[in-house]
Amino acid sequence: MRKMKKGLALVLALVMMVAMTACGGGGDTNEGDGEKGAKTEGGKKELLVWTFLNPNDESGRGYVLAKAKELYESEHDDVTVRIESLEWDTMTAKFFAATQTGEAPDVIWVNGLNLGEAIQLGVVEPFENLFLKDWTDEQFADLDDVRFEYGATDDAHYQLHLSTNVYGIVYREDLFKEFEIDPNFESWDDLIAAAQKLTYVNEDGMQVYGLGVGYNEKSADSNYLRAQLFTQYGDVVDENGQANWDGDVGQAALQMQIDMIDKYKITPQSAVSATSEEMYADFIAGKYAMVFGGSVRIPTIKSQCAYDPDSVKLMPYPSSNGMDGKGLAAGWNVCVYSGSEMKEEAGEFVETLCCPEIDKLWVEEGGQIPLLKSTVDACGEFLSQPDNEYLKTAMEMLENNAVAYNSQYVISGYVTDLVKSMQLAYVEGKSVEEALATTAREFNERNNN
Amino acid sequence: MKRRDKMFPYLLLAPSALVILFVLIAPLLYSVYCSLYQCTYMRFTKFVGLDNFIKVLTNMDYLKAFGRTFYISAVSLVIALVLGVLFALWINKYSGITAYAIQLLVLIPWVTSQVVGTLLWKWIFSEDLGVLNYLIKQLGMAPLKVLSDPNTAVWVLIFVMTWRIIGYAMVQILAGLKSIPKSIEEAALIDGAGKWQLLRYVRLPMIKTPLLISTIILTLSNINNLTVPLSLTGGGPGTATNVITISIYRLGFESYQFGTSSALSIVLFLVTLVLSIGYVKAVKYEV
Amino acid sequence: MRSNQMQVSLGTLEKWKKWLHIYEVVLFLFVVIVNLAPFIWGLLTSLKPVREVLSYPPKLFGSQVSTEHYEEVFRGTFFTGFRNSLIYSAIAIAVGLLFAMMAAYAMSRFRFRGKKLFFILILSGIPLSIGSAAMVVPNYTFFSSLGLTNQWYTLPIIYVAYNLPMAIWVIMGGLESVPVQIDEAAKIDGAGNWRILFGLVVPLSLPSLASAALFIFLGAWNEYVVSSVLVSSASLYPIQVSIYNYMGFYGIQWGPLCAAATTAVVPTLAVFAILGRMLISGLTAGAVKD
């Protein structure tokens, strides 16, 4: 054993040396990488873009990105755009790490949740320093809305909001018709009453539930608690950046989530282990009449369901306490890396992504909500087709029933915290108050606001 | 001996040593370095010494996660070993193509992608729409709460983890059985040993080594498994299946706390290193 | 009288055997079904038309056999991943076998200072490479700080390193059955060290080399966690990451996902069916040592 210890110590010492030399060598490589921004390939500079979209796959969104690259390169003879497609769930973490190691891209899709961190870390460049300084007021007004203002101050806009996802209730109009239910709910009570009617066993012997949701911590999304926070507070943190869900609103909402399973029986108990992915899959299979869902998922649902695809509809959350129901408008924030050596070019690429020509494609090929108000008219015909009605609904919701995150504070992990409260209260048997207080404390400690 | 001859073994070892040092050991040391700092989003803001270690080792949630990890790994291991021995004894009677086919079939879960296997299991176990509960309903029984009940969820996780490793245990043990000289078994039978006695006094002692090797390799494999728990249960419901690798993953890639995440990784590595040393001792490998 | 009794008992034994046989067939089928259930379900799903994939009640077969998911998979980027993984695995096998053979030969044939040290190095490599969870973050930060992420050689290096400890272990086991006398005789005849290794020992170690190659192949082909973090260009993705393409931000597409997963299993099964015997003997190298 003693010999072994000695051996281990030697291994460790040796490895330290190797690691140190390697790190030294790393410094050199990084210097070499300093040229990266200006790296020339046949005299061309290379603009590196990190996104989760894939310009080579079959999706409409990938196609639009490829078109934007084409258009940009035709306008910039001296630049080639290199698009790297990363996995969406770890991409932002890798970007933050990469800003430290000199491997960061020039243009990056930042997850909606992490824009606050990105701004605080100073790794994203205000567009005012780039293309916005040359824009006319009309151009600016055409783009400006709740999404573009996300994270912005009076003189700094940091991101272009793509893949906008407006949250509400995704429902099946065919079942509503069958049960003669009017989808214009006045309140959550109406919705719950409807969900109770819609909880039944269908002709295939399948137990259908009125309202679906997923509480798995691995991948959670919207739920009643979050809907209440956005409706009543417009945010998930208070003015000091502290979690706001441990108050009365949160407690009532969490109790309601439990009641939805145990008392009203409109949500199955299996929701505690379902990820949001499984919830959507179950909705496609016909298990739910309504789910807490986002607009971007509707095309996927329509393309896979066995029932009439045109019956898949979206509605805003009902109002609570006289306040209009509000859901999150989340999406991906296209930003320019502040350490990039090609900031101007990167800014121009962002500009290309929101030019009228490409925006029209985002709508018609990518199934996205228009970025520019002028695109609504340009795509009038497309948007009036019944298949695309959900886009119109989402646009209306964006105007009347949506909030964006407040990027002043770091909020990473709050989605997990919210569902963890449910896990603690429903599965672990903690009281509603205790469950919410626990996760709020964890959130506050972690994010240090 | 010539100088060149003396250098020869070092030349032979150099490439492997470099690769292992560089890819496996150096990142480990790098994470030791990370673990001594407050390191959020890869920014080393403050040297904190052993604070991160103290933080994770005094946090009940992580200690419980370690406990859960050991419990789940151990139960899965015991089941895999017992069934491995039974299957090996069964297959040992055959030779040729039958034995070969069975071995291959049982080994398939070990050698294919864990992500896909796990997701498909999850689909089969899906409570309202899965095949399992559908079949149960067809038989006129009440459907099972598979993954939404904390107690059954643990067992489902154990089941999938065991499913993955059982083939490895079986093949190891089978090789051990095959290496027992026929004469010894025959002698025991002539001496009037029954089937049970043959197993207890002849076979089991002779397969001690493969059993130990399986024990350690599979323990390491179970303890370090992130893919299966993350894809199958995501740690839930509640904290029922929240194993330590999930905590490490969440700290690093959801909360971006690389300092604490590294500290936890190192604790996990030390545990596995102790087990590896056990491995060497167990096989008494002479160098 | 006595022989009569014997006949009776033999008869019962026959019956017993017959019964045992049925029981064993049932057991065999059970093992097959439980073991392969997810793969069978995945295969069946991949052949259903898109609107029947998630339909309820679950059916084994769709209304028709549909190859639409396979067509989609092969038109998309999955094929790039498939090709990349073949290349990565080939590089990893070639480099890994060379390094592992050399190291194993040194370890089993020579006495030298620091041998124990190297042995510990291999051993500590085993837990580090077996479960990659603990190493995801360190690997990413370390490789990233050296600028070694997202290169064509990134994943081959990782695959070689992850499988090297086990490969050395397996080949060391194999070398035990290659008589030392052969080396010694050649040495007396004046053959050089390298010639003895590559001209004499390597040809005699082919079985263990083959099983080490299989290990490396399986490890390289199935690794997911670290690959997904270290590489960010779609053109460099290995197969397991390409499969994830069908579980993106816009939702899981079960049909293409199952088609991609089924396709990804095929090379594993093929290699396995052809060389599985060697794998089993490689897996157990060292295990029978007492």
Question: Looking at A225-287, which runs of residues are DSSP E strands?
Answer: none
Please give the pLDDT value at position C19.
64
Torsion on CA atoms C178, C179, C183, C184, rounded to nearest 10: 170
Residues B69-76, mean pLDDT to the nearest whole number? 95
Under 8 Å CB-to-CB from A297, ≥6 apart: which residues?
A165, A170, A280, C250, C251
Instruction: Please report, as a single letter, which amino acid is at residue C36.
Output: L
Please give the pLDDT value at position A424.
94
For residue A55, being part of any structural domain is answered with: yes
Residues C123-127, mean pLDDT to the nearest whole number? 75
A204 and A239 co-located in one domain: yes
Instruction: Residue window 152-171, chain C: list those with CB within 8 Å of chain B.
Output: 157-158, 160-162, 164-165, 168
Instruction: Please report, as a single letter, which amino acid is at residue C147.
Output: G
Tell me the DSSP string of A292-351.
EEEGGGHHHHHHH-SS-GGGEEEEPPPBBTTBPP-EEEEEEEEEEBTT-TTHHHHHHHHH
**Average pLDDT of every residue of chain C:** 81
A193 and A96 co-located in one domain: no
Could you give the CA distance from residue C89 to residue C213 in angstroms, rounded to a whole number? Answer: 9
Tell which of C78, C91, C113, C141 to mutate to test the B interface (max B CBs under 10 Å): C141
Nearest CA of chain A to the CA of B253: how many Å?
A: 6
- Mark yes or no for CB contact C150/A287 under 8 Å: no
A311 and A340 co-located in one domain: no
- Mark yes or no for CB contact A121/B41 under 8 Å: yes
Q: Around B86, how many Cα atoms within 13 Å sit in the side-chain half-sphere?
A: 11
CA distance to C2, C8, C18, per residue, from C5 (Å): 5, 5, 20
Give the CATH number of the domain where residue A241 resides: 3.40.190.10
First to last CA, chain C: 49
Tokens of B261: 């995440």
For chain A, helix, strand, coil in percent to 5 are 50, 15, 30
Could you give the CA distance from residue B219 to residue B222 in angstroms, rounded to a whole number? Answer: 5
Could you give the CA distance from residue A28 to residue A5 in angstroms, rounded to a whole number? Answer: 35
Could you give the CA distance from residue B54 to residue B62 in angstroms, rounded to a whole number? Answer: 12
pLDDT at C20 over 70: no
Tokens of A378: 């340009």
Cross-strand partners of C217: none
Please give the pLDDT value at position A42.
63
A296 and A436 co-located in one domain: yes
Q: Specify the higher pLDDT residue, B5 or B197.
A: B197
First to last CA, chain A: 49
**CB contact, 8 Å: C147 with chain B?**
no
Please give the pLDDT value at position A98.
82
- Mark yes or no for CB contact B41/A428 under 8 Å: no
Q: Answer whether CATH 1.10.1200.10 is correct for domain C72-283.
A: no
Tell me the DSSP string of B43-73.
EEEEE-TTHHHHHHHS-HHHHHHHHHHHHHH
Please give the pLDDT value at position A2.
44
Fold type of domain B50-281: MetI-like fold (1.10.3720)
Please give the pLDDT value at position C176.
80
Torsion on CA atoms B127, B131, B133, B135, rounded to nearest 10: 170
Counted across chains A and C, CB pairs separated by less than 8 A come out at 118
Tokens of B16: 């492997």
Cross-strand partners of C151: none
Count of domains in chain A? 2
Residue A151's domain spans which residues? 38-158+330-400
Q: Specify the higher pLDDT residue, A200 or C131.
A: A200
A283 and A180 co-located in one domain: yes
Element (H, E) at A414: helix A414-422
For chain B, helix, strand, coil in percent to 5 are 75, 5, 20
Per-residue pLDDT reduced to its tens digit, C69-89:
998 888 877 888 999 999 999
A119 and A144 co-located in one domain: yes
Could you give the CA distance from residue C76 to residue B189 in angstroms, rounded to a whole number? Answer: 62
Handedness of CA C53, B160, B166, C287 (dihedral sign): positive
Residue A282 has its nearest CB partner, among B129, B153, B236, at: B129
**Residue A408 φ/ψ, nearest 5 degrees:** -65, -30
Please give the pLDDT value at position A112.
83
Q: Specify the higher pLDDT residue, B279 or C215.
A: C215
Could you give the CA distance from residue A47 to residue A344 in angstroms, rounded to a whole number? Answer: 11
Of A123, A92, A103, the closest CA to residue A39 belongs to: A103
Please give the pLDDT value at position C2.
46
Residues A214 and A279 sit within 8 Å (Cβ to Cβ): yes
Cross-strand partners of A328: A403
Name which of A19-33, B262-276, C156-170, C213-227 the model is least confident about. Answer: A19-33
Please give the pLDDT value at position B252.
79
pLDDT at C10 over 70: no
Determine the 3-state secondary structure of C103 from DSSP: helix
Determine the 3-state secondary structure of A80 from DSSP: strand
Instruction: Please report, as a single letter, which amino acid is at residue C255.
Output: G
This prediction's pTM? 0.84
Confidence of residue B272 (pLDDT cuts 50, 70, 90): confident
Nearest CA of chain B to the CA of A442: how many Å?
A: 11
A94 and A82 co-located in one domain: yes
Tokens of A173: 């109009």
Please give the pLDDT value at position B257.
80
Instruction: Please report, as a single letter, which amino acid is at residue A310.
Output: D
Residues of A in contact with C76 (CB under 8 A): 56-58
Instruction: Please report, as a single letter, which amino acid is at residue B268.
Output: L
The residue to which tokens 């963890």 are assigned: A420
A318 and A208 co-located in one domain: yes
The residue to which tokens 């930003």 are assigned: A335
For residue A32, being part of any structural domain is answered with: no
- Mark yes or no for CB contact A7/C117 under 8 Å: yes
Instruction: Residue window 158-217, chain C: list those with CB within 8 Å of chain A.
Output: none
Element (H, E) at C80: helix C78-109
For residue A385, being part of any structural domain is answered with: yes
The residue to which tokens 């490439």 are assigned: B15
Could you give the CA distance from residue A222 to residue A41 in angstroms, rounded to a whole number? Answer: 46
Nearest CA of chain B to the CA of A209: how many Å?
A: 10
Instruction: Residue window 354-383, chain A: list those with CB within 8 Å of chain B.
Output: none
Residues A195 and A264 sit within 8 Å (Cβ to Cβ): yes
Ramachandran assignment for A163, one of left (phi > 0), alpha (psi -120 to 50 degrees), beta (any other): left
**Exposed e or buried b per residue across B13-24, where buried means at least 16 C-beta atoms within 10 angstroms of its C-beta:** bebbbebbbbbb
Could you give the CA distance from residue A304 to residue A314 in angstroms, rounded to a whole number? Answer: 17
Please give the pLDDT value at position B269.
85
Q: Specify the higher pLDDT residue, A253 or B253.
A: A253
Please give the pLDDT value at position C82.
92
Q: Which residue of B has its CA nearest to A95?
A: B41
Burial of A135 (0-12, 13-18, 19+ CB in 10 A): middle
Residues B26-41, mean pLDDT to the nearest whole number? 83
Q: Which residue of C has its CA nearest to B260?
A: C137
The residue to which tokens 């069978």 are assigned: C40
- Mark yes or no for CB contact C50/A304 under 8 Å: yes
CA distance to A73, A130, A350, per residue, from A44 (Å): 11, 21, 19
Of B24, B49, B23, B65, the closest CA to residue B259 belongs to: B49
Beta carbons within 10 angstroms of residue B232's beta carbon: 25
Please give the pLDDT value at position A24.
38
Question: So where are chain B's domains?
Answer: 50-281
pLDDT at B104 over 60: yes
Please give the pLDDT value at position A199.
96
**Exposed e or buried b per residue across B242-260, where buried means at least 16 C-beta atoms within 10 angstroms of its C-beta:** bbbbbbbbbbbbbbbbbbb
Instruction: Please report, as a single letter, which amino acid is at residue C40.
Output: I
Residues of chain A where predicted confidence (pLDDT) is lower than 70: 1-42, 449
Determine the 3-state secondary structure of C85 from DSSP: helix
